Amino acid sequence: MALELWHIGVPVTEKRPGMNYAEDMKLWLSNPGEAGDEYMFEYLKFEEGGPFPEVMHRTPHVAYKTADAQPYIDAADQIVFDTGINEDGGRMTFVFKDGILLELFQVAE
């Protein structure tokens, strides 16, 4: 699997209807594609004290799924946030590439 477009992440300052809270990340987020959203927007409302760097609180991102994120991470200009590979092989990494914030979601095995 190469890169598969997954969603576009849009930071917001106000909670929107249908958002779910991820307590471990201190983050409200919507589910892309839900309720007829064919644009695949993921709305994100960050709370203070969460693990994500401030640049992610104000910068939209383009998210891709992939079987192996490492080649794309290696080609990035800057790593912004990386969970590392978890026990099932999944990984979530945010990078800058050519001035664009990308989320690389490595699918769990």
> Residue 36: what pLDDT?
72
**In this predicted structure, what is the pLDDT of residue 34?**
79
Q: Measured between alpha carbons, how far is 15 from 28 in angstroms, rounded to an integer?
A: 7
The predicted pLDDT at position 96 comes to: 98
Cβ neighbors of 71 (< 8 A, separation 6 or more) are none
**CATH number assigned to the domain with residue range 4-106, chosen from the 4 options 1.10.150.120, 3.40.50.300, 3.10.180.10, 3.40.50.2300:** 3.10.180.10
Q: Consecutive sets of 10 residues in the chain, 109 residues long: mean pLDDT of each?
A: 91 94 95 82 96 97 96 97 91 97 93
Output the pTM of the full model. 0.92
pLDDT of residue 35: 66
